[in-house]
Structure 1
């Protein structure tokens, strides 16, 4: 705990979020080691040995473009599957309505202590914008990516995730005046909320496909592509939330 506290304090001095630095460390150090261990286990289990010296060197840019193209293609296919988009949207709306109603029944004073335009401004003034952008992007994309493939557990998993997101947003809407809510949420919410709904629709559809059909591996792969295809949406949403939404909030507060 002492080491974590010291690291957190050092990062605070540099105006860098600890969670963002931890994510970067995982991507650069932990994940490659974990992937190497998985590759070793696979070769040991299948008795297949790969000589990495004979394999073509992968190009990160080409791989990223290919994955994003496949992800966008699967997103387009999902967008044409109206029934799952509708189902995920209805669950989100139900969560929003439930969160709004529950908050108005006596929780508004408690939640209002943690929600407000001024409180959000403190975070943006304390940390580097790039650090905040990375933290918001990785956090939201991780949730959306997991939601997209969470149908492997059951249809309840993606439905619960989008329901909880709706409840949280509904609770915020209940304690903020309409104009405050619109200024603080809608600039990035118009991109972020549909992204979560698409992720939930993908997860719910995957759960149904795994129950009804046999080619399970291909459906899981398609859901994983959707998770990758959602990355640009959440990158745009994080950029707006980090660099544009605070600007609108400042203008709005000055006009009061």
Structure 2
């Protein structure tokens, strides 16, 4: 299973590079150009506050792991499945998430937090979570591009068979990609719920 997942990743490296570029560009835009008055940012902050409120109310690390995992997996699934709309939706979701993370980083630093605090808040779980989201977006883009070519060239006899075979090949890879992302995002959720919180709580001891 891992070999099939990795083979799908290697095959899609061009879109992964493009998705990575979109994410990091949106991160910079969010950091330098977005403020708290942005309507989209306010919507995400309210959603995040609701999730944090539910987690605090349950006061359970297992519920925290479950909530983080389900929310990230839902995002990944939407990026892949709705990529069939010519790859536009995963690119949009990826850009907006990068925008939000960039804004959060800026807000932490402006609030007086150290760069170390910001890094510890993202890096331990983000080293798995962010690549997983980028992979999901890249695969959604691949699905969308494959569907686009199969649609616009449906009347071209020579390209039609190849395009439909490639689209079907891409659709079959969804299973392997989702299984791989489930494993990665589950581990990321565990890290975020345990190690990340521990490091942030004990940051004063690291200075």
Structure showing greater Rg: 1
Q: Which has the higher contact order (CA 8 A, sep 6+)?
A: 2
| RMSD over equivalenced CA pairs, Å | 2.8
> 1:121–1:246: 8 Å Cα contact kept in structure 2?
no
- Report how far residue 75 of structure 1 moved: 3.9
CA contact (8 A) 2:79 2:93 kept: yes
Q: Given that residues 147 and 161 in structure 1 are in contact (C-alpha distance below 8 angstroms), is that contact kept between their aligned partners in structure 2?
A: yes
**TM-score of the aligned structures, taking structure 1 as reference length:** 0.62
Query: CA 1:72–1:244 in structure 2 vs 1: closer, same or farther (change >3 Å)?
Result: farther
> Aligned match of 1:157 in 76, 89, 93?
89
1:200 to 137, 156, 165: 137
Q: What is the distance in 2 between the residues matched to 1:125 and 1:179?
A: 29
TM-score (norm 2): 0.76
Aligned to 2:64: 132
User: Separation in 1 of the partners of 2:183 and 2:36?
Assistant: 38
Name the SS of the counterpart of 1:244 in structure 2: helix
Q: Name the counterpart of 2:12.
A: 81
Cα separation, 1, equivalents of 2:118 and 2:198: 15
| Structure 1 pair 248–166 and aligned structure 2 pair: CA distance change class (3 A) | same
Runs of 4+, deviation exceeding 6 Å = none
Say yes or no: does 1:143 pair with 2:75.
yes
Q: Which position in structure 2 is the counterpart of 1:24?
A: none
Structure 2 residue runs of 5 or longer lacking an equivalent are: 46-51, 110-114, 150-162
Match status 1:238 vs 2:189? yes
Between the aligned partners of 1:74 and 1:188, the Cα distance in structure 2 is 21
Report the 3-state secondary structure (helix = DSSP H, G, I; strand = E; otherwise coil) of the residue aligned with 2:86.
coil
Report deviation, 1:99.
Answer: 0.9
Give CA-to-partner distance per residue, 1:192-215, whole Å, 9 cap, x none: 000001111111111111222113
The alpha carbon displacement at 1:80 in A equals 4.2
5+ long unaligned stretches in structure 1: 1-68, 115-119
- 5 Å-filtered alignment, 1:56-67, equals none
Indicate if the aligned counterparts of 1:145 and 1:224 stay in contact, CA closer than 8 A. no
**Matched pairs, number:** 179
